[in-house]
Amino acid sequence: MATWWQSGAIYQVYPRSFQDSDGDGIGDLKGIEARLDHLVALGVDALWISPIFPSPMADFGYDVADYCDVDPRFGTLGDFDELLAAAHARGLKVLLDFVPNHSSSAHPWFRESRASRDNPKRDWYIWRDPAPDGGPPNNWISDFGGSAWEWDAVTGQYYYHAFLKEQPDLNWRNPALRAAMMDVLRFWFDRGVDGFRIDVLWHMVKHAQFPDNPPNPAYRPEMGGMHAVLQLHSTDQPEVHAIAAEMRRIADGYDGDRVLIGEIYLPVERLMHYYGREAPEVHLPFNFQLIEATWDARHLAALIDEYERALPPGGWPNWVLGNHDRPRIASRVGERQARVAAMLLLTLRGTPTIYYGDEIGLADVAIPRDRVQDPRELREPGLGLGRDPVRTPMPWNDSEHAGFTSGEPWLPLGPDWSTRNVAAQGGDEASMLALYRRLLHLRRKHAALAVGDFRLIEAEGDVLAFERRHGDERIVVALNLGAEPQPFALPEGDVLASTRGGTPKSGVLRGDEGVVFLARPA
């Protein structure tokens, strides 16, 4: 029997931008609780909340100063407990974002570590002597550009930070640090959390000897500084798998099918290792291929087939169209194809994750220079790497500030918020929101879509078609990835959903049309 995280769908909430309850322009936990009924009506099974822990917000919560509390901007531990109870009462699971690779430089652990070389917590972080020339220990580059090493004049060593200097990396080779972080998982599991998305899991262990990373022969400046070298020695080290396996043992020790989802940007063959080879690791290593894919039928068919074939025995697939770090699907492929993409996401075999706002077709929002918040954009301006455009407030209705806040939103709303909002689309059966609701309803109604087998039927021209089957139930999904009509012979049966509404023409997919079809038994 399938678990909830296999048959269900996950919805990512970026808490700063979902709903503000106190007028400070920043979303919070009470705001999320107030909007839970939207998630119920949408038809998702779980919400994953991006970091809510105390933080100086140098990287908007991914610089954690206390792993076992809630930042006052978002509320209190009591507010979280109330949100958790309200979600569970509605049949919704709640996942938190675990940030184990690095803490904030304001974390008490780092302050102790930085105090002296002989401090008991010195080895909880990664410290190295300078190179012979006095410079950084090696050529490793921060993902936000520049050297990944920061000089500390007080103790005469460099500390390592894969991201901002305000985000020093934890040393997972230290047993005491490792035990302390495992206790963080237990703290939240004990409160009733249903699982975690584990941030940058593949970064967590570094090569013990810290050799230089090799140069990237394909590097171009517009790619951003982090791509100047290949992260051969600073990520994806063999020792990380034992850590992931220990996290899995902790999760499996709780009832209720707790789930671990790993953020891992790696090629498919290396991604598969995080399911676990020696022992079970994360339940779902995030599969980001659709985020990065060329929107072409043959290319998509090939990557879907490669992914399915690569899965280890018992490994459950998953798919993602967007998240808080990458351009929104509506901006990547256009609004009409974003509907086709939604149908693809919600009918492929595996667990789908929906990024907040995609269900109403939100696009990237241009951020004026004086409103930029993202440290990545501030450090490497002009390269288009900033993440603010995909983190803008959720438009709920056409009232002032789109019903998101009674104050000034922390980021600007999109220009079409007065018409592109949840209330406007909620009563429109032709809307993007109606399409998402329909598709999620079909996943719950038809086992073939939720847990059925997958078989590719066609990838010719602009048409991508596949079959989902469970027992005697057979569903065909046909997607036209182009704007022009394409021939496709649908089997005898009933149309369950179309991205364009109405009844498809016999033997033809209209431009930008996707169809879910229930085939009659042979």
Nearest CA to 284 out of 142, 16, 107, 95 is that of 95
Domain-terminating residue out of 437, 471, 503? 437
Domain presence at residue 216: no
Consecutive H or E run containing 342: helix 335-347
| Structural domain containing residue 141 | 108-160
Domain-terminating residue out of 387, 408, 437? 437
Domain presence at residue 218: no
Predicted pLDDT of residue 522: 67
The alpha helices in 141-296, defined as continuous H runs, are 175-191, 240-252, 268-271, 289-292
Say if residue 40 is in the same domain as residue 130: no
CATH number for position 248? 3.20.20.80
Q: What residues in the chain have per-residue pLDDT under 70?
A: 522
Say if residue 327 is in the same domain as residue 390: yes
Say if residue 292 is in the same domain as residue 150: no
3-state secondary structure of 393: coil
Say if residue 383 is in the same domain as residue 259: yes
Domain presence at residue 459: yes
3-state secondary structure of 215: strand
Say if residue 191 is in the same domain as residue 138: no
Say if residue 245 is in the same domain as residue 347: yes
Say if residue 259 is in the same domain as residue 338: yes
Say if residue 187 is in the same domain as residue 153: no
Distance CA(201)–CA(99), nearest Å, equals 9
Say if residue 293 is in the same domain as residue 415: yes
Is 69 known to be catalytic?
A: no
Domain-terminating residue out of 437, 467, 494? 437
Active-site residue among 20, 263, 388, 462? 263
Predicted pLDDT of residue 154: 95
With contact defined as beta carbons under 8 Å apart, do 117 and 157 qualify?
yes
Domain presence at residue 244: yes
Domain presence at residue 276: yes
Q: How many residues does the chain have?
A: 522
Domain presence at residue 446: no
Domain presence at residue 444: no
264 contact partners, CB below 8 Å, separation of at least 6: 201, 202, 271, 274, 285, 286
CATH number for position 148? 3.90.400.10
Is 263 known to be catalytic?
A: yes
Distance CA(514)–CA(339), nearest Å, equals 8
Q: How many structural domains does the chain have?
A: 3
Predicted pLDDT of residue 492: 86
Cα distances (angstroms) measured from residue 404 to each of 15, 70, 392, 401: 12, 21, 10, 6
Say if residue 12 is in the same domain as residue 72: yes
Q: Please write down the HEC assignment for all residues of 32-86.
A: HHHCHHHHHHHCCCEEEECCCCCCCCCCCCCCCCCCCCCCCCCCCHHHHHHHHHH
Strand 157-160 to 127-128 pairing: antiparallel
Say if residue 18 is in the same domain as residue 68: yes
Q: Could you tell me the two tokens for 188? A: 């939240």
Predicted pLDDT of residue 70: 98
Task: Give one DSSP letter per residue of 460-483, joined into a string.
Answer: ETTEEEEEEEETTEEEEEEEE-SS
β-bridge partners, 160? 149
Distance CA(16)–CA(274), nearest Å, equals 30
Domain presence at residue 386: yes
CATH number for position 472? 2.60.40.1180
Say if residue 314 is in the same domain as residue 408: yes
Distance CA(429)–CA(389), nearest Å, equals 28
Active-site residue among 28, 45, 199, 281? 199
With contact defined as beta carbons under 8 Å apart, do 226 and 142 qualify?
yes
